[in-house]
Amino acid sequence: MSISDSIADALTMLRNANSTKKERVDIPKSKVLLEILKILKRENFIGNYKPIEDKKQGVLRVYLKHGKSGKPALISLKRISKPGLRVYVKKGDIPTVLGGLGIAILSTPRGMLTDREARDLKVGGEVLCYVW
């Protein structure tokens, strides 16, 4: 199976595992996905993650976070910029997600940042996804 958009595939794997109330999910390892998972952990959308080495590309094992009532911490993920249609924003046009309840993950010259961090640093970039 050839993967043309590894970020969209990983977000779909997270979304599917979250909707079926799984405790963990394994996604293919890449530098971009590792940075996205760092942001999701820092913003308390996932419990933890750990890289697992194999003889190939490697795997990122993501431990999902659920509340006491079983409600997932991660409600939804939406891919914004796609390989066929890249979405870039200037520093003044950075979107807010659900009035600040969610986050937008941006790829900037300063690395992967949330929308709040990008506004504070006054940098724009490519909007990868929305998370809430």
Question: Do residues 10 and 50 share a domain?
Answer: yes
> Residue 69: inside a domain, yes or no?
no
Cβ contact 107:71 at 8 Å: no
> Residue 24: inside a domain, yes or no?
yes
Cβ contact 65:14 at 8 Å: no
> Residue 83: inside a domain, yes or no?
yes
Question: Do residues 84 and 60 share a domain?
Answer: no
At residue 67, the pLDDT reads 85
At residue 4, the pLDDT reads 85
Question: Do residues 58 and 10 share a domain?
Answer: yes
Q: Give the integer Cα–Cα distance in Å for 73 and 91.
A: 29
At residue 13, the pLDDT reads 96
Q: Tell me the two tokens of residue 14.
A: 């997270």
- pTM value? 0.93
At residue 14, the pLDDT reads 96
Domain that includes residue 82, residue range = 77-131
Mean of per-residue pLDDT scores for the chain: 95
DSSP labels for 75-119? Answer: --EEE-SBTTB--EE-TT----SGGGTSEEEEEETTEEEEHHHHH
Instruction: Give the number of domains in the chain.
Output: 2
Q: Give the integer Cα–Cα distance in Å for 16 and 19.
A: 5
Question: Do residues 60 and 83 share a domain?
Answer: no
pLDDT at 85 over 60: yes
Which helix or strand (DSSP H or E) is residue 61 part of?
strand 59-64
Q: Give the integer Cα–Cα distance in Å for 39 and 55.
A: 27
Predicted confidence (pLDDT) per residue in 16-67, tens digit: 999 999 999 999 999 999 999 999 999 999 999 999 998 899 999 999 998 8
